[in-house]
Amino acid sequence: MLHLIDRQLIFCVSFQREHLFKTHPMVDRLSAALVSVFVGIEMTGQGVEFEHKFRYRQPMYVALEYIWRIDSHRDALKVFQISVSAD
Protein backbone atom coordinates (compact mmCIF):
# COMPACT_ATOMS: atom_id res chain seq x y z
CA MET A 1 0.00 0.00 0.00
CA LEU A 2 1.31 3.41 -0.93
CA HIS A 3 1.99 5.88 1.82
CA LEU A 4 0.60 9.40 1.65
CA ILE A 5 4.03 10.81 0.70
CA ASP A 6 4.31 8.30 -2.16
CA ARG A 7 0.86 9.26 -3.48
CA GLN A 8 1.68 12.94 -3.32
CA LEU A 9 4.93 12.35 -5.19
CA ILE A 10 3.17 10.34 -7.90
CA PHE A 11 0.55 13.08 -8.27
CA CYS A 12 3.25 15.75 -8.47
CA VAL A 13 5.22 13.86 -11.12
CA SER A 14 2.06 13.19 -13.15
CA PHE A 15 1.04 16.83 -12.95
CA GLN A 16 4.50 18.02 -14.02
CA ARG A 17 4.60 15.62 -16.96
CA GLU A 18 1.15 16.66 -18.13
CA HIS A 19 2.04 20.32 -17.74
CA LEU A 20 5.24 19.84 -19.75
CA PHE A 21 3.51 18.01 -22.61
CA LYS A 22 0.74 20.62 -22.82
CA THR A 23 2.45 23.97 -22.19
CA HIS A 24 6.12 23.81 -23.17
CA PRO A 25 6.97 26.50 -25.77
CA MET A 26 8.10 23.83 -28.26
CA VAL A 27 5.18 21.46 -27.67
CA ASP A 28 3.72 22.07 -31.12
CA ARG A 29 6.81 20.49 -32.69
CA LEU A 30 7.06 17.48 -30.39
CA SER A 31 4.81 15.01 -32.20
CA ALA A 32 6.41 15.39 -35.62
CA ALA A 33 9.92 15.44 -34.17
CA LEU A 34 9.36 12.27 -32.16
CA VAL A 35 7.99 10.38 -35.15
CA SER A 36 10.79 11.68 -37.39
CA VAL A 37 13.43 10.43 -34.97
CA PHE A 38 11.61 7.11 -34.59
CA VAL A 39 11.55 6.60 -38.36
CA GLY A 40 15.09 7.90 -38.73
CA ILE A 41 16.36 5.21 -36.39
CA GLU A 42 14.69 2.57 -38.56
CA MET A 43 16.25 4.02 -41.70
CA THR A 44 19.80 3.86 -40.39
CA GLY A 45 22.20 1.60 -42.25
CA GLN A 46 22.19 -2.15 -42.18
CA GLY A 47 25.29 -2.08 -39.98
CA VAL A 48 23.07 -1.30 -37.01
CA GLU A 49 21.65 -4.45 -35.48
CA PHE A 50 17.92 -4.87 -34.92
CA GLU A 51 18.46 -5.04 -31.16
CA HIS A 52 20.20 -1.66 -31.15
CA LYS A 53 17.41 -0.04 -33.13
CA PHE A 54 14.82 -1.59 -30.85
CA ARG A 55 16.69 -0.42 -27.76
CA TYR A 56 16.89 3.14 -29.12
CA ARG A 57 13.19 3.22 -30.00
CA GLN A 58 11.83 1.47 -26.94
CA PRO A 59 11.52 4.61 -24.73
CA MET A 60 9.76 6.34 -27.61
CA TYR A 61 6.89 3.86 -27.46
CA VAL A 62 6.03 5.14 -23.99
CA ALA A 63 6.19 8.77 -25.10
CA LEU A 64 4.13 8.14 -28.23
CA GLU A 65 1.50 6.27 -26.27
CA TYR A 66 1.34 9.09 -23.73
CA ILE A 67 1.05 11.94 -26.24
CA TRP A 68 -1.57 10.02 -28.24
CA ARG A 69 -3.91 10.50 -25.26
CA ILE A 70 -3.58 14.30 -25.55
CA ASP A 71 -5.94 15.71 -28.17
CA SER A 72 -3.56 18.38 -29.47
CA HIS A 73 -0.77 15.84 -29.99
CA ARG A 74 -3.08 13.28 -31.58
CA ASP A 75 -4.30 15.99 -34.00
CA ALA A 76 -0.70 17.05 -34.74
CA LEU A 77 0.26 13.43 -35.48
CA LYS A 78 -2.66 13.12 -37.89
CA VAL A 79 -1.68 16.35 -39.67
CA PHE A 80 1.94 15.18 -39.82
CA GLN A 81 0.86 11.86 -41.32
CA ILE A 82 -1.16 13.64 -43.99
CA SER A 83 1.72 15.98 -44.85
CA VAL A 84 4.19 13.09 -45.10
CA SER A 85 1.77 11.06 -47.23
CA ALA A 86 1.40 14.00 -49.63
CA ASP A 87 5.17 14.14 -50.24
Residue 4 inside a domain? The answer is no
For residue 21, being part of any structural domain is answered with no
Confidence of residue 44 (pLDDT cuts 50, 70, 90): confident
Question: Is 69 domain-assigned?
Answer: yes
Give me the domain span that covers residue 32. Answer: 26-86
Provide the whole-model pTM.
Answer: 0.69
CA proximity to 57, closest of 37, 27, 81, 43: 37
In-domain check, residue 52: yes
Question: Residue 16 domain-assigned?
Answer: no
Is the CB of residue 32 less than 8 Å from the CB of residue 80? yes
End-to-end CA distance of the chain: 52
- Confirm if 14 and 8 have CB atoms less than 8 A apart: no
Per-residue pLDDT reduced to its tens digit, 48-86: 677 888 888 888 898 899 899 999 999 999 999 888 887
* Cα angle for residues 27, 33, 13 (degrees, 5° grid): 45
Number of domains in the chain: 1
User: 12 lies in a domain?
Assistant: no
